[in-house]
Chains A and B, each alone.
Chain A
Amino acid sequence: QQKVQQSPESLTVSEGAMASLNCTFSDRSSDNFRWYRQHSGKGLEVLVSIFSDGEKEEGSFTAHLNRASLHVFLHIREPQPSDSALYLCAVSMSTGYQNFYFGKGTSLTVIP
């Protein structure tokens, strides 16, 4: 079964400083990666999806995938206090019916 781990568990950054979140997965045949954000008491909001090695940018969010090293990163450029939330990494494979495996999340706090 796929194992997805995220680090760090929590991260505090100053407003405007780059935030980098890490996600590792166990199955090298995975090919569908998503980063979600969840504000307290709210549903999940997809930030960026990536399907092949390299980078994918969506606004201030950049995902970086390296399947050989089993890592997918999320970089948040110039985060604002409103970006304080739980960030979840989700990993799936094209074979089988889209069962995404989620990490436990990184709790990000952006201080003014």
Chain B
Amino acid sequence: GGIITQTPKFLIGQEGQKLTLKCQQNFNHDTMYWYRQDSGKGLRLIYYSITENDLQKGDLSEGYDASREKKSSFSLTVTSAQKNEMAVFLCASSIGGHTEVFFGKGTRLTVV
């Protein structure tokens, strides 16, 4: 079995700050995803990547950048943190288009 590791687990940033969240997977999966989970709301897709160096925008990409420099890692950058940014960010991966998706444990972001 494999594992998805998200770092850090907790991230505290200041309003306006640029913040980066990291995700590593050892499944050797092609596709990776970043979702945002707000309290009382469902998960919403921010970015996904179907292969190394590929980036695709999800429904919530504004205010975020992403980077897939290698197959095993996918980073998400909050370009200018806002107080309403506070949420849990979940990274996920899958082999391809419609196979099982595995999730990491999340990074909880707090903006002060």
- In chain B between 92 and 107, which residues have their CB closer than 8 angstroms to a CB of chain A? 92, 94, 97-98, 100-106
Quick one: which of B31, B40, B48, B90 contacts A43, CB cutoff 8 A? B90
A102: min CB distance to chain B, Å: 4
B91: min CB distance to chain A, Å: 9
Determine whether A61 belongs to the interface, using a CB cutoff of 8 Å to chain B: no
Determine whether A24 belongs to the interface, using a CB cutoff of 8 Å to chain B: no
A103-B106 in contact (CB<8A): no
Determine whether B45 belongs to the interface, using a CB cutoff of 8 Å to chain A: yes
B residues contacting the other copy or chain, number (CB 8 A): 26
Which residues on A sit within 8 Å (CB–CB) of B103? 36, 43-45
In the bound complex, CA of A103 to CA of B43 (Å): 7
A97-B97 in contact (CB<8A): yes
Quick one: which of A41, A97, A105 contacts B42, CB cutoff 8 A? A105
User: What 0/1 pattern do residues 7 to 44 of B give for CB contact below 8 A with A?
Assistant: 00000000000000000000000010001000011111
Which residues on B sit within 8 Å (CB–CB) of A90? 43
- A: which residues have CB within 8 A of B? 1, 4, 32, 34, 36, 41-46, 49, 88, 90, 92, 94, 97-105
